[in-house]
Amino acid sequence: MNHQLLKGKRGIIFGALDERSLAWKTAERAFEEGAQFVLTNAPVALRLGTINQLADKCKAKVIPADATLIEDIEKLYDESIQFLGGKIDFLLHSIGMSPNVRKGKTYNDLDYNFFLKTLDISGLSLHKILQVAEKKDVFNEGASVVALTYVAAQRVFPHYSDMSQAKALLESIARSYGYQLGVKKKVRINTVSQSPTVTTAGSGVTGFDTFYSYADKMSPLGNASALDCADYLITLFSDLTRKVTMQNLFNDGGFSSMGISQQILEIVKQKN
Ligand SMILES: NC(=O)c1ccc[n+]([C@@H]2O[C@H](COP(=O)([O-])OP(=O)(O)OC[C@H]3O[C@@H](n4cnc5c(N)ncnc54)[C@H](O)[C@@H]3O)[C@@H](O)[C@H]2O)c1
């Protein structure tokens, strides 16, 4: 599938760690659709991951930036605009990390320094990215920003722990900043709430395999894959969605509208 939907557009993609990453698939699709972009990730992730292979394939430049550090974000924008030869038309925030989840801390035994880090990395970073962008005036008129989120912002998934609050914060920032930059520059800001997907961040959550399978059986269309996510993001970065902003959009095969499915009913019936 190639419709050149992003021909002539310049972007920044945060969060491609390895080929399973949602940002990795999005970069591949954005390249196919004619975009030119910069790939960025935290310096430590760049050392661990294989991002240079992706950069070679997509003719992209890799610029390290910790998304919680203002000076890194400023440098990222300066170098990106220089490399791309103009201002930014699209930006993907595909960043998530909870030290509490990583260390197996349960929701009723959270470390509060870790909690603040979770909020900073996974939520507040979107505000920092947008505030620096506004101050430096890096977006073209009508640019599109998308951040990836999960339904645990609205519904309880016990093992998602403090990431639930981080995602609620992220979605709220997208709405509030969507107003600011919408009025100022017609910039669109949305969050996409994705199905569980097998990636480093996704499979780090306890019981991931079980709730992956549960979500798949609950969703009339089945779970959305990383490629499904990338395809949806391309439409949001394109000019076809110029009036969509400040929304939390579900790319989840219908999961978020379900109560119970026949498949899950059968399983519960067998167990009783
Ligand atoms: N995989 C899923 O099941 C799923 C479902 C819904 C939403 N999401 C969200 O999608 C996004 C991407 O996650 P993924 O599943 O592709 O996993 P991933 O582990 O491949 O991506 C997470 C990225 O965040 C980056 N990151 C962490 N700390 C950072 C920092 N300080 N500065 C810059 N980057 C930093 C990591 O290096 C990594 O590249 C996350 O926001 C995640 O919460 C994932």
Q: How far apart are CA 120 and CA 180, in angstroms?
A: 21
Q: Please give the pLDDT value at position 187.
A: 98
Q: Please give the pLDDT value at position 167.
A: 98
Residue spans of beta strands (DSSP E) within the chain = 10-14, 36-40, 61-62, 88-93, 139-149, 188-194, 248-251
Spell out a b/e string for 81-102, using b for 16 or more CB atoms within 10 Å of the CB, else e: beebeebbbbbbbbbbbbbbbe
Task: Report which protein residue has its CA nearest ligand 1's atom 36.
Answer: 15
Q: How far apart are CA 4 and CA 115, in angstroms?
A: 41
DSSP secondary-structure letter at 35? Answer: -
Handedness of CA 41, 43, 46, 48 (dihedral sign): negative
Q: Please give the pLDDT value at position 199.
A: 87
Strand partners, 10: 36
110-130 tens-digit pLDDT: 999 999 999 999 999 999 999
Is residue 94 a contact partner of residue 16, using CB atoms and an 8 Å limit?
Answer: yes
Burial of 74 (0-12, 13-18, 19+ CB in 10 A): middle
Q: Please give the pLDDT value at position 144.
A: 99
Is residue 165 a contact partner of residue 114, using CB atoms and an 8 Å limit?
Answer: no
Token digits of residue 50: 């294989």
Q: Please give the pLDDT value at position 147.
A: 99
Give how far Cα 127 sits from Cα of 56, 61, 81, 184, Å.
30, 24, 20, 16
Neighbours of 108 (CB within 10 A): 7
pTM above 0.95, yes or no: yes
Probe target for ligand 1 pocket from 148, 227, 255, 256, with the most ligand atoms within 8 Å of CB: 148
State which residues of the chain have pLDDT below 70: none
Is residue 100 a contact partner of residue 162, using CB atoms and an 8 Å limit?
Answer: yes
Residue 11 — φ and ψ, nearest 5°? Answer: -140, 170
Q: Please give the pLDDT value at position 202.
A: 80
Strand partners, 61: 38
Probe target for ligand 1 pocket from 70, 76, 97, 118, with the most ligand atoms within 8 Å of CB: 97
What letter represents residue 67's amino acid?
Answer: A
Q: How far apart are CA 250 and CA 175, in angstroms?
A: 15
Centre of ligand 1 from the C-alpha of residue 153, in Å: 15
Centre of ligand 1 from the C-alpha of residue 272, in Å: 38
Q: Please give the pLDDT value at position 1.
A: 76
What letter represents residue 170's amino acid?
Answer: L
Centre of ligand 1 from the C-alpha of residue 202, in Å: 8
Q: How far apart are CA 35 and CA 58, in angstroms?
A: 9
Nearest to 90 by CA among 142, 32, 51, 43: 142
Residue 45 CA: nearest ligand 1 atom is 37
Residue 122 CA: nearest ligand 1 atom is 41
* Pocket residues: Cβ below 6 A from ligand 1: 14-15, 17, 21-23, 41-42, 45, 66-68, 94-97, 121, 148-150, 194, 196-197, 199-202
- The CA-to-CA distance between both ends of the chain, in Å, stands at 46
157-204 tens-digit pLDDT: 989 999 999 999 999 999 999 999 999 999 999 999 999 999 888 887
Is residue 97 a contact partner of residue 121, using CB atoms and an 8 Å limit?
Answer: yes
